[in-house]
């Protein structure tokens, strides 16, 4: 059976069982209608115009009672297709056909390139990848469904085995039960999650998937090192670690307060204690050996089960700590003590046992579960995840302005950059406090100071970094450092400016260079600078082509300055799942960065539904971790080429022309905002209880809209506009200048440029101008329709241009797997699009109070279903 046939067989099986469930609940005639719609959609995709018209007529004439179950049928099918596809990446058959994993492949590439062993050993020793879990959810799938999908995955894995018929029948019955449970559950949350709910969701991903996956990934890496280089990973190696924004990201989210941050930190410790307690309990039962080295024998007074003595004590300390944290979480008083307060307290007894077993020739035992637990300690520690803090730079300015006005110094916000820096540095060097004792700040300033006080209450290793969004000047960074100092933070918390508009990206290197020149700042840094690169807002500001080039250029300059100043630079990539927000295959994205940009480590956000796709199952998580590690090793040891001077000039032209065109539409076209609001479900998205964060930073038009709903809305109507608009104009200009052959060379030889074209190709395969036109026909007022036609024409022109540059007859001809995946979904996503347009029309014809709950629910289901069909929504 070929690779795709196995996937199609599983999709068919799950679809058939969903059909049986629908028939049991709604009858055969309703199931026949669903199947007719599916067949019409499939035929319409193949170019049959009569069937296309029949599909539209069928969906248009559904009764109000039929709307919701039809929407649910297609939406649930797409979720099941995603389950089958996720399983397919880790199925025995696929793994067998794919052969070697990413780690062995990268070591082969290094060997072929004749990279010397010492360089490889050094690169592995310096491997430093931090994956930052963020909520922002465009994660529309409820946790209850995610749990069912995990169980379905387990069933599919078992069905691959050669089982006796009764066992197979039992498994199929379980699959049917899970699908039936899902059909009779509500897909859409009743309430928007709170920031604490989001953090709990992140902890659940750790518990169910990353906790078992991490040590298995480490074993794979260790085995490759041993096989290829004859070395082992050190005991305390943590090449991959995890941080989180859930409960710490307050930028534009009024619901993330100091109280929430404190609670999430507590829950993280509670979860870590609970997970470690389970592991230590297992070790107590396993390590029954009596042989011990002198160090352990003396410490346990020559007990006949020395390992158990040490581990039982650790278990009791963890139990009491857990009781203490449990009471604290529930707001109760307790006599229990907080005994395990540092990661070192876990590490020392475990390493003592490990050394003793190795000394006694019991290495096989030492390298079993004990080694796995030691590695989890190194990676997760007692806080489980390091919590990042993120806040808008404007909030710090306002806080300092309020303080300076109270002290009679004038208004900090009105000062020049030079005056701000002079004031901040003076205060940072001063020993007297800045904050007056009797002063009562306003609510917003109080919240900023309270957050800094929460940081002061906790140890340094509870936190990742403090990120300042919309940072544009050195004073933005110094302001945070001063506020932290004034609130009693006694460790140098890393502070990272986030450069996320086109101007900020272009000026970012100057900002960092100015900071490096300040002696106080150099002392604070301790040799390491973090800088966050924003993908979403820069693409929303300038279009994907101009933003991509600005990101690349900013990284290149930052790497050069930090290298010159001998400061270790860690670039933090704020990528989303969707292509309009810097998403796309991780390996390709890493290898498309400037040479040297991962030498100081890689830090990257993993967002919303992408967390589930990449880390939702242990086997998938192992593959994802191996993919990241191998890509960073490759980027550091086999860096991509520097772009030719001519390529840089061409990219400047492409960026300038594409940005001008993009902005002429988004900002200067008076019909654009009304068209956007009419042609997409942007206004209806606010009803969908996705994440805890509001869709807008402030009231206003497109500029006030967050990057996520901006992308999400265009993904829904299949125009996918933010991911391609403007790019073709830049490319056309270069071709008109007679440089087409240079573009062909850039595509073949420069990973950065090739990644841009590949991303466009993937977007175009998901885009559909016929469906976008259908939305227009039902929803857009006559006077705005010419703009829609113009945009769809641009989409078609862009598609042809990309095929021409890539010398391909059809999109993604060299990526059969992605192509098959999209092809498989279309007959289910297309009817949801048609249905959504019809529902939007009906909903907008009613007054707000007059919309039936079933119609509203059906609309929400189509939004969730299309999100599942498109896979990366925001």
| Interacting residues of 785 by C-beta distance below 8 A, sequence separation 6+ | 776
Q: Which of 231, 220, 214 is nearest to 122 (CA)?
A: 231
Position 583 scores a pLDDT of 46
Q: Which of 586, 562, 468 is nearest to 131 (CA)?
A: 586
Q: DSSP letters of 553-607?
A: HHHHHHHHHHHHTT-EEEEEEE--SSGGGT-S-HHHHHHTSPTTTTTT-EEEEEE
Position 579 scores a pLDDT of 46
Which residue in the list 33, 88, 136, 661 is annotated as catalytic? 136
| Interacting residues of 363 by C-beta distance below 8 A, sequence separation 6+ | 357
88 is annotated as an active-site residue: no
Length of the chain, please?
874
Alpha carbon 774 to chain centroid distance? 32
Q: Is 387 helix (H, G, I), strand (E, B) or coil?
A: strand
Q: Where are the beta strands (DSSP E) in 114-252?
A: 129-134, 240-244
Which residue in the list 540, 573, 619, 728 is annotated as catalytic? 540
Alpha carbon 215 to chain centroid distance? 22
540 is annotated as an active-site residue: yes
Position 533 scores a pLDDT of 95
Position 845 scores a pLDDT of 87
**pTM more than 0.85:** yes
Phi, psi of 142 (to 5 degrees): -70, 155
Instruction: Confirm if 38 and 55 have CB atoms less than 8 A apart.
Output: no
Mean pLDDT by 10 residues, the chain (874 residues): 77 93 94 94 92 93 90 92 85 61 92 94 96 71 76 90 93 95 84 85 90 97 94 95 95 91 97 98 97 97 97 98 95 94 98 98 98 98 97 97 96 98 97 91 97 98 96 97 97 96 95 98 96 89 94 97 98 70 70 95 87 86 94 95 96 98 95 95 77 56 66 92 95 96 95 93 92 97 98 96 86 75 86 95 78 85 88 53
- Looking at the DSSP bridge assignments, the partners of residue 34 are none
| Interacting residues of 500 by C-beta distance below 8 A, sequence separation 6+ | 469, 470, 532, 533, 534, 536, 537, 538, 541, 574
Tokens of 735: 């071709």
């Amino acid at each position: 059976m070929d690779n795709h046939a196995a996937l199609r067989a599983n999709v068919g099986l799950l679809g058939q069982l969903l059909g049986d469930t629908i028939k049991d609940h709604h009858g055969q005639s309703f199931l026949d209608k669903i199947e007719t719609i599916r067949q019409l959609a499939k035929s319409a995709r193949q170019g049959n115009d009569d069937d296309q018209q029949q599909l539209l007529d069928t969906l248009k004439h559904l009764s109000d009672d039929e709307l919701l179950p039809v929407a649910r049928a297609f939406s649930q099918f797409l979720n099941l297709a995603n389950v089958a596809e996720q399983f397919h990446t880790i199925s025995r058959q696929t793994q067998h056909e794919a052969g070697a994993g990413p780690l062995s492949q990268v070591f082969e590439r290094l060997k072929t390139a004749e990279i010397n062993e010492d360089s490889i050993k050094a690169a592995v020793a310096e491997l430093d990848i931090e994956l930052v879990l963020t909520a922002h959810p465009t994660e529309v799938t409820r946790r209850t469904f995610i749990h069912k999908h995990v169980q379905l995955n387990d069933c599919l894995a078992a069905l691959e085995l050669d089982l006796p018929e009764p066992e197979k029948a039992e498994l199929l019955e379980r699959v049917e039960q899970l699908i039936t449970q899902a059909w009779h559950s509500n897909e859409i949350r009743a309430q928007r999650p709170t920031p604490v709910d989001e953090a709990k969701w992140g902890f659940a991903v750790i518990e169910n998937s990353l906790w078992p996956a991490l040590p298995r990934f480490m074993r794979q890496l260790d085995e490759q090192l041993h096989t290829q280089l004859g070395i082992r990973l050190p005991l305390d190696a943590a090449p991959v670690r995890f941080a989180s924004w859930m409960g710490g990201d307050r930028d534009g989210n009024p619901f993330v307060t100091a109280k929430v941050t404190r609670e999430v930190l507590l829950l993280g410790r509670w979860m870590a204690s609970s997970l470690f307690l389970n592991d230590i309990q297992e070790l107590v039962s396993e390590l029954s050996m009596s042989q011990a080295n002198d160090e352990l024998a003396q410490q346990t007074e020559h007990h006949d089960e020395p390992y158990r003595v040490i581990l039982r004590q650790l278990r009791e300390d963890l139990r009491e700590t857990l009781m203490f944290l449990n009471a604290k979480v529930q707001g109760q008083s307790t006599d229990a003590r907080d005994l395990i307060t540092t990661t070192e307290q876990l590490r020392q007894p475990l390493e003592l046992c490990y050394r003793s077993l190795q000394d006694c020739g019991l290495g096989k035992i030492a390298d079993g579960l004990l080694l796995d637990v030691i590695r989890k300690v190194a990676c997760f520690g007692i806080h489980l995840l390091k919590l990042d803090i993120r806040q808008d730079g404007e909030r710090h300015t306002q806080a300092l302005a309020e303080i300076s006005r109270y002290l009679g110094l004038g208004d900090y916000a009105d000062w020049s950059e030079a005056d701000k820096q002079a004031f901040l540095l003076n205060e940072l060097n001063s020993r007297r406090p800045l904050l007056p004792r009797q002063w009562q700040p306003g609510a917003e300033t109080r919240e900023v100071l309270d957050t800094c006080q929460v940081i002061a209450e906790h140890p340094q290793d509870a936190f990742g970094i403090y990120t300042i969004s919309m940072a544009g000047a050195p004073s933005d960074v110094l302001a945070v450092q001063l506020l932290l100092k004034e609130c009693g933070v006694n460790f140098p918390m890393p502070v990272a400016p986030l450069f996320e508009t086109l101007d900020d990206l272009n000026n970012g290197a100057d900002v960092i260079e100015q900071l490096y020149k300040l002696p106080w700042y150099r002392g604070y840094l301790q040799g390491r600078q973090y800088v966050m690169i924003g993908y979403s807002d820069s693409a929303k500001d300038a279009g994907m082509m101009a933003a991509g080039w600005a990101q690349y250029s900013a990284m290149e300059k930052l790497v050069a300055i930090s290298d010159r100043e001998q400061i270790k630079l860690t670039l933090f990539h704020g990528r989303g799942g969707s292509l309009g927000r810097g998403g796309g295959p991780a390996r390709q994205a890493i290898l498309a960065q400037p040479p040297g940009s991962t030498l100081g480590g890689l830090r990257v956000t993993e967002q919303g539904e992408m967390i589930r796709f990449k880390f939702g199952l242990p086997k998938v998580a192992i593959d994802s971790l191996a993919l990241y590690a191998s890509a960073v090793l490759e980027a550091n040891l086999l860096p991509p080429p520097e772009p030719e001077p001519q390529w840089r000039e061409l990219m400047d032209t492409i960026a300038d022309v594409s940005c001008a065109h993009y902005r002429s539409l988004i900002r200067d076209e008076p019909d654009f905002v009304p068209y956007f609001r009419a042609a997409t479900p942007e206004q209806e998205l606010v009803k969908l209880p996705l994440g805890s964060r509001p869709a807008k930073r402030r009231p206003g038009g497109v500029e006030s809209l967050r990057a996520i709903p901006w992308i999400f809305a265009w993904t829904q109507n299949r125009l996918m506009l933010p991911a391609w608009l403007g790019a073709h104009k830049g490319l056309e200009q270069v071709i008109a200048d007679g440089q087409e052959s240079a573009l062909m060379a850039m595509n073949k030889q420069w990973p950065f440029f090739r990644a841009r074209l590949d991303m466009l190709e993937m977007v175009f395969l998901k885009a559909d101008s016929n469906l976008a036109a259908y939305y227009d026909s039902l929803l857009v007022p006559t006077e705005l329709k010419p703009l829609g036609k113009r945009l769809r024409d641009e989409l078609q022109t862009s598609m042809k241009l990309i095929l021409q540059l890539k010398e391909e007859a059809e999109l993604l001809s060299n990526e059969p797997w992605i192509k098959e995946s999209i092809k498989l979904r279309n007959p289910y996503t297309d009817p949801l699009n048609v249905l959504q347009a019809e529902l939007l029309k009906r909903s907008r014809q009613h007054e707000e109070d007059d919309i039936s709950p079933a119609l509203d629910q059906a609309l929400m289901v189509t939004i969730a279903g299309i999100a599942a069909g498109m896979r990366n929504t925001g």
